[in-house]
């Protein structure tokens, strides 16, 4: 059974958002994609009931690192401290391949770290792989949250 | 700068500072030693001279005493000659005969210092009137004087030359103890004797004098009793000590002055003479006793100015002065050396501090530049990717147009060209970032195995198994593996890029252990490189291909060069057109390898 992979894309670059959007559309990938401009907006979306309605579970966060107001690392740190959403699965999706960024992300329990590809062909293959991986993974049940 | 400031403080703790120069223990030792040598040489030469002059003094004393004794023996001979004459005459001699004897002696010439020579008879009191009677036959004024209590009567009967001694004729020497006892002693011992200090009656100056006796007997006498029995008189000579000494040795030619005392009584005194040769502070003095004809004379001897003149040597002072001059020169030289040395050290410290400062500054600037290159390249990535993304979007959006017959083929071509340029820009930014990170990534990497690395290369460049040959006597790269990987990757990448027919490419990688290092060679069978360009190819952004279809960024070999030079090595190239290319370099095996430069890897 194919799982739906809803996406919260935290990305300040409109062009990147559009490229990803087009790629999903072209691939015919099911599910919803919600976009946040930066870390603060992403936290708002995750914590506000109204806004959450647009993003059904299960969802994955695709997180850029370099963003205004609140960058990816700050967001991740904040997320892991926030009740109810601390267990969210986050894949960092960024242009930076700086080892410092990579280490920091995993230290905050990122589920993966993916470097943004430079063409649509590579992007498609990444999305394919990510989806295939997602489909193989079990989803956490909300009722067992905070029980270890 | 800090080292320069602390330097003098340290110097102050380690040595003396003189005239602004630092003197070490060694310098001070040299000065002290040479000073000690100078003083020792001075003292030694002075001691030698002292010893020599002391010897001279003793010799002079010996000579003077010898002269005195010789002279006295000489006089004694004259007396004994008189005795012999009296023996021939059986003790009875007349005034004219005695005068004839005296004349034959030639006293003034042969016996300078003698006052005269005479005869004294020993008489019993009862013999006196007859004796006077007999003498008056020759000398009508003859009388015996003065009267005294002693049992003996010892009148001076003859004395020649007569004139200066006239007052002594008839003097009874028994009237006074010194004269009498010496006369008796002479008679009793049969030897020549002198009296203790007396004043001669004929001496106008009333100075010290003595009488010199030699006894004569009426018959051969060997025992004391016989001598007393037969002793009938003495031949005598009166002496004024001063005259004796004047005759003895001219004072001006002597180097000594002396006093003579007899039983504590001064009989001769030169010390109170105040002539030119007086040395108020004599160099040497001494006291000598001589036994002389029954008396003991004590000679008190002092050197005079003649002695001082002839025994004063400037030599030790020349040695001292010369030594001190040399000493001053040595000190001067050492001080100059020390100063020069100190200046050189402080100059060197200044220069090296300056250099260090400049080097630090350069390193900082270099780091800033690398950082700048890195950040700039990184920031370029986003817009480049954007252009690429947008171009792809346009291509997608125009898919229907491209399929239609009225489509302009240039549009598709130009969009492809944009994509091509985007790829190159991505390559370029990636290359610049890699280049700027070479120094930074030297540490923190796991060692890798060479065969595994070759497998990775084969798959990365889509080559078949036999296209890369590894010849190596080393299994693993442990020193700065990340940059080693970078170097070999770039070299293989170049071989791949420039080969006309990839399927015919063949690369040989040779790694050979060489002490602490290994020599590495990457050789291909590509088109080769014209030797003209062998230096240029290592410069950044220099690619030998130009125009369309070029996929080299011109940064690969710059990365190779920088990585190898980071560890002090050099990249050498052997190649010619059509003959393939071989790149060689040395790579350290450990951090202790000889040319490794720690500060650059940091």
Inter-chain touch A26–B396, beta carbons under 8 Å: yes
Rg (CA), chain B: 65
The length of chain A, given as a count of residues? 148
Q: Say if A101 is an interface residue toward chain B (CB within 8 Å).
A: no
Closest partner residue to B385 among A22, A26, A95, by Cβ? Answer: A95
Identical fold at B89-305 and B442-601? no
Looking at the DSSP bridge assignments, the partners of residue B296 are: B291
For B420, the closest chain A residue by CA position comes to A119
Q: What is the DSSP letter of B500?
A: S
pLDDT score, position B84: 92
Q: Rounded to two decimals, what is the model's pTM?
A: 0.47
Is residue A31 domain-resident? yes
Is residue A133 domain-resident? no
pLDDT score, position B290: 93
Alpha-carbon distance of B117 to B79, in angstroms, equals: 8
Whether A25 has a pLDDT exceeding 50, the answer reads yes
- Quote the domain boundaries for residue A96: 6-122
pLDDT score, position B551: 53
Which of 3.30.450.350, 3.90.1200.10, 1.20.1510.10, 1.10.3210.10 would CATH assign to domain B89-305?
Answer: 3.30.450.350
Inter-chain touch B386–A116, beta carbons under 8 Å: no
User: Cα distance from A32 to chain B (closest Cα, Å)?
Assistant: 21
Domain spans of chain B? 89-305, 348-437, 442-601
Cβ-based contacts of A18 with chain B (< 8 Å)? 389, 393
Residue B278 contacts residue B169 (beta carbons within 8 Å): no
Alpha-carbon distance of B414 to B45, in angstroms, equals: 112
Helix/strand/coil percentages in chain B, nearest 5: 55, 20, 25
Buried b (16+ CB within 10 A) or exposed e, B441-453: bbeebeebebeeb
* Interface mutation vs chain A, best among B374, B385, B387, most A CBs within 10 Å: B385
Residue A92 contacts residue A113 (beta carbons within 8 Å): yes
- The model's pLDDT over A48-95, given as tens digits with 9 standing for 90+, comes to 887 778 888 888 999 999 888 888 999 999 999 988 888 899 999 998
Q: Say if A13 is an interface residue toward chain B (CB within 8 Å).
A: yes
How wide is the angle at C-alpha B93 spanned by C-alphas B89 and B95, nearest 5°?
155
Residue B323 contacts residue B37 (beta carbons within 8 Å): yes
Inter-chain touch A120–B392, beta carbons under 8 Å: yes
Inter-chain touch A120–B390, beta carbons under 8 Å: no
Alpha-carbon distance of A28 to B593, in angstroms, equals: 59
By a Cβ cutoff of 8 Å, what residues of chain B touch chain A?
378, 381-382, 384-386, 388-390, 392-393, 396, 419, 422-423, 426
Q: Return the number of other C-beta atoms located less than 10 Å from residue B242's C-beta.
A: 18
Residue B196 structure tokens: 């203790």
| Beta-carbon contacts below 8 Å between A and B | 34
Residue-wise DSSP of B312-377:
--SHHHHHHHHHHHHHHHHHHHHHHHHHHHHHHHHHHHHHHHHHHHHHHHHHHHHHHHHHHHHHHH
pLDDT score, position B543: 61
Identify the helix (H) or strand (E) that includes residue B287.
strand B285-292
Alpha-carbon distance of B432 to B540, in angstroms, equals: 9
Alpha-carbon distance of B450 to B510, in angstroms, equals: 11
Name the burial class of residue B152, with classes exposed (0-12), middle (13-18) and buried (19+) by CB atoms within 10 angstroms of its CB: middle
Do the strands B193-194 and B208-217 form a parallel or antiparallel pair, or are they unpaired? antiparallel
For A98, the closest chain B residue by CA position comes to B378
pLDDT score, position B249: 67
pLDDT score, position B245: 82
Closest partner residue to B385 among A18, A22, A118, by Cβ? Answer: A118
For A16, the closest chain B residue by CA position comes to B386
Place of tokens 């996406």: A7
Q: Which residue has the higher pLDDT, A122 or B594?
A: A122
What Cα–Cα distance (Å) separates residue A25 from each residue in A37, A124, B178? 21, 11, 167
What Cα–Cα distance (Å) separates residue B569 from each residue in B37, B485, B534, B565, B591? 59, 16, 17, 5, 14
CATH-assigned architecture of domain B442-601 = 2-Layer Sandwich (3.30)
Contacts of B186 (CB under 8 A, 6+ apart): B192, B193, B213, B214, B215, B234, B294
ipTM higher than 0.90?
Answer: no
* Interface mutation vs chain A, best among B389, B421, B423, most A CBs within 10 Å: B389
Q: Say if A119 is an interface residue toward chain B (CB within 8 Å).
A: yes
Total number of domains in chain A: 1
Percentage above 70 pLDDT, chain A: 96
Smallest Cα–Cα separation from B86: which of B213, B234, B194, B188? Answer: B234
Tell which A residues from 36 to 95 touch B, by Cβ distance under 8 Å. 95
What Cα–Cα distance (Å) separates residue B498 from each residue in B523, B545, B558, B571? 13, 9, 17, 19
User: Cα distance from B483 to chain A (closest Cα, Å)?
Assistant: 16
pLDDT score, position B273: 75
With a cut of 50, list the residues of chain B below it in pLDDT. 1-15, 547-550, 594-602
Q: Say if A141 is an interface residue toward chain B (CB within 8 Å).
A: no
Checking B45-52 for CB contacts under 8 A at 24+ apart, the result is B45/B315, B45/B316, B45/B319, B46/B316, B49/B311, B49/B313, B49/B315, B49/B316, B52/B311
Closest partner residue to B382 among A13, A26, A120, by Cβ? Answer: A13
What Cα–Cα distance (Å) separates residue B474 from each residue in B490, B509, B522? 21, 12, 15
pLDDT score, position B17: 56
Q: Return the number of other C-beta atoms located less than 10 Å from residue B236's C-beta.
A: 32
Place of tokens 């994955």: A60
- Give start and end residues of each alpha helix (H) in B398-472: 399-403, 409-436, 450-460
Alpha-carbon distance of B435 to B553, in angstroms, equals: 12
DSSP strands (E only) in B436-580 = 448-449, 468-472, 476-477, 507-514, 517-523, 572-575
* Interface mutation vs chain B, best among A19, A68, A93, most B CBs within 10 Å: A19
Q: Residue A105 sits in a domain of what CATH number?
A: 3.40.50.2300
Inter-chain touch B381–A95, beta carbons under 8 Å: yes
Contacts of B85 (CB under 8 A, 6+ apart): B93, B101
Residue A118 contacts residue B388 (beta carbons within 8 Å): yes
Inter-chain touch A15–B392, beta carbons under 8 Å: no
């Amino acid at each position: 059974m194919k799982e739906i992979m809803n996406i919260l894309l935290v990305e300040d670059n409109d062009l990147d958002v559009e490229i990803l959007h087009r790629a999903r559309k072209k691939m015919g990938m099911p599910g919803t994609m919600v976009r946040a401009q930066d870390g603060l907006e992403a936290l708002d979306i995750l914590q506000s009931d109204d806004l959450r309605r647009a993003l059904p579970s299960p969802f994955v966060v695709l997180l850029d690192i370099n963003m205004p107001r609140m960058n990816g690392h700050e967001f991740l740190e904040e997320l892991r401290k926030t009740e109810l959403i601390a267990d969210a699965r986050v894949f960092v999706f960024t242009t930076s391949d700086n080892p410092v960024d990579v280490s920091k992300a995993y230290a905050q329990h990122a589920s993966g770290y993916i470097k943004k590809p430079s063409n649509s062909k590579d992007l498609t293959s990444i999305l394919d792989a990510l989806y295939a991986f997602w489909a193989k993974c079990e989803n956490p049940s909300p009722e067992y949250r905070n029980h270890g | 700068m800090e080292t320069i400031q602390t330097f003098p403080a340290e110097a102050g703790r380690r040595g003396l500072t003189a005239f602004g120069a630092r003197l070490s223990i060694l310098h001070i030792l040299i000065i002290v030693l040479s000073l000690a040598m100078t003083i020792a040489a001075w003292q030694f030469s002075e001691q030698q001279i002292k010893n020599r002059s002391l010897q001279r003094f003793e010799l002079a004393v010996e000579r003077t005493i010898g002269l005195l004794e010789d002279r006295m023996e000489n006089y004694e001979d004259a007396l004994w000659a008189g005795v012999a004459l009296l023996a021939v005459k059986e003790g009875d001699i007349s005034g004219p005969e005695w005068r004839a004897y005296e004349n034959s002696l030639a006293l003034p010439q042969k016996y300078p210092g003698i006052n005269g020579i005479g005869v004294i008879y020993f008489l019993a009191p009862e013999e006196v009137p007859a004796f006077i009677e007999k003498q008056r036959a020759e000398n009508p004024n003859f009388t015996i004087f003065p009267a005294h209590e002693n049992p003996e009567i010892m009148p001076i009967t003859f004395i020649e030359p007569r004139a200066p001694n006239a007052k002594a004729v008839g003097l009874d020497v028994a009237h006074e103890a010194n004269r009498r006892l010496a006369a008796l002693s002479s008679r009793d011992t049969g030897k020549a004797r002198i009296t203790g200090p007396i004043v001669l009656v004929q001496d106008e100056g009333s100075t010290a004098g003595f009488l010199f006796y030699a006894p004569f007997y009426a018959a051969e006498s060997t025992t004391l009793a016989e001598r007393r029995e037969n002793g009938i008189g003495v031949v005598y000579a009166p002496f004024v000590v001063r005259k004796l000494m004047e005759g003895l040795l001219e004072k001006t030619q002597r180097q000594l002055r002396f006093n003579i005392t007899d039983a504590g009584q001064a009989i001769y005194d030169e010390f109170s003479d105040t002539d030119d040769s007086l040395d108020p502070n004599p160099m040497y003095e001494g006291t000598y006793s001589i036994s002389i004809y029954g008396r003991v004379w004590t000679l008190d001897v002092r050197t005079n100015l003649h002695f001082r003149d002839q025994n004063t040597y400037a030599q030790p002072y020349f040695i001292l002065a010369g030594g001190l001059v040399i000493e001053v020169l040595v000190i001067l030289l050492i001080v100059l050396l020390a100063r020069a040395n100190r200046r050189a050290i402080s100059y060197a410290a200044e220069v090296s501090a300056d250099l260090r400062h400049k080097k630090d500054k350069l390193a900082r600037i270099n780091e800033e530049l690398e950082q700048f290159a890195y950040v700039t390249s990184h920031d370029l990535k986003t817009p480049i990717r954007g252009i690429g993304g947008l171009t792809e979007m346009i291509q997608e959006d125009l898919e229907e147009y491209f399929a239609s017959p009225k489509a302009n083929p240039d549009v598709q071509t130009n969009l492809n060209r944009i994509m091509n340029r985007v790829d190159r820009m991505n390559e370029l930014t990636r290359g610049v970032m890699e280049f700027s990170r070479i120094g930074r990534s030297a540490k923190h990497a796991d060692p890798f195995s060479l065969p595994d690395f070759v497998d990775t290369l084969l798959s990365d460049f889509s080559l078949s198994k036999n296209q890369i040959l590894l010849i190596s006597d080393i299994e693993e790269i442990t020193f700065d593996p990340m940059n080693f990987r970078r170097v070999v990757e770039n070299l293989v990448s170049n071989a791949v890029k420039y080969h006309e027919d990839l399927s015919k490419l063949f690369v040989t990688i040779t790694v050979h252990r060489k002490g602490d290092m290994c020599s590495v060679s990457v050789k291909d069978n590509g088109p080769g490189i014209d030797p003209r360009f062998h230096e240029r190819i290592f410069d950044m952004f220099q690619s030998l291909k130009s125009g369309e279809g070029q996929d080299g960024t011109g940064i690969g070999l710059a990365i190779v060069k920088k990585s190898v030079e980071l560890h002090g090595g050099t990249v050498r190239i052997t190649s010619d057109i059509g003959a393939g290319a071989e790149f060689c370099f040395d790579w350290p095996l450990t951090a202790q390898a000889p040319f490794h430069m720690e500060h650059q890897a940091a």
